[in-house]
Each structure stands twice: as C-alpha cells, then as structure tokens.
Amino acid sequence: MTKSRGGRIELGDVTPHNIRQLKKLNQVVFPVIYNDKFYKDVLEAGELAKLAYYNDIIVGAVCCRVDNSDNSRRLYIMTLGCLAPYRRLGIGSKMVEHVLKYVEKDGNFDSIFL
C-alpha cells in the first residue's frame, strides 16, 4: 500500500466483476476503442493487467502482454492510464513499479516497451 497526498493507492486484479469499469476507464483516457478480444485477453492476463484504486475508487489501469516477435521476449505495455483528476499522485508510478517487479521476478524478458 502506498500513501499519497492523504490517499491510499492500491492495485487489484481485473475480474469479470470489474471489467466494465476497466472499459469505461480506457474509453475516457484513450482515444482508441479496444475490442472484445482485448478485454478477453486482459481477463486472462493475470498480473499483467491491474486496476489502480485511489481510496477504493478505480482511477487507473495498466494492461500488458508478452510479445514474442523478432526472436525476443518483450513486455508490451498496451495501456497505462489514470483519470485526469487523479494524475500526479503517484498512481502511474505505482503501476509501472508493478510491471517492473513482474519483469524482474520473471527474469526472462529482453525489454519492456509501450
């Protein structure tokens, strides 16, 4: 748990119960509409997809996948977003730290890109 400007930042799993909130969030933050396949994959992504909560409210999300092209294994950050009113509170950093930790623990990635 991270405390920032009086708020509590936590990361949580994406599940069938909150996937609609992830869709809404991505619609607000990004100019592109992600298709059903994107969200189907996200539901199976485990630690590679996380929602960010600020005082128990969903305000951000990160969605990644493993990219195995050009003879390398890379972590592709597909989306990394935070609602505008909640920016500069450390929520983006918390999500990036999670991804970095995942990659470090795995030990088999050549790089990370977005």
Ligand X SMILES: CC(C)(COP(=O)(O)OP(=O)(O)OC[C@H]1O[C@@H](n2cnc3c(N)ncnc32)[C@H](O)[C@@H]1OP(=O)(O)O)[C@@H](O)C(=O)NCCC(=O)NCCS
> Could you say which of 42, 61, 63, 82 contacts ligand X (CB under 6 A)?
82
Spell out the residues 6+ positions from residue 109 whose beta carbon is closer than 8 angstroms to its own.
Answer: 73, 74, 75, 103
The 49-68 site mask, x for binding ligand X (CB under 6 A), equals: --------------------
Tell me the two tokens of residue 67.
């990219």
> Could you say which of 26, 49, 75, 79 contacts ligand X (CB under 6 A)?
79
CA-to-CA dists, residue 20 to 30, 54, 104, 105, angstroms: 15, 18, 30, 30
Q: How far apart are CB 51 and ligand X at their closest, in Å? A: 13
20-39 binders of ligand X (CB under 6 A): 29
> Could you say which of 88, 97, 100, 106 contacts ligand X (CB under 6 A)?
88
Nearest alpha carbon to residue 18 among 49, 48, 51: 51
Q: How far apart are CB 22 and ligand X at their closest, in Å? A: 14
Q: How far is CA 87 from its chain centroid?
A: 15
Told to check if 89 binds ligand X by CB under 6 A, we report yes
Told to check if 42 binds ligand X by CB under 6 A, we report no
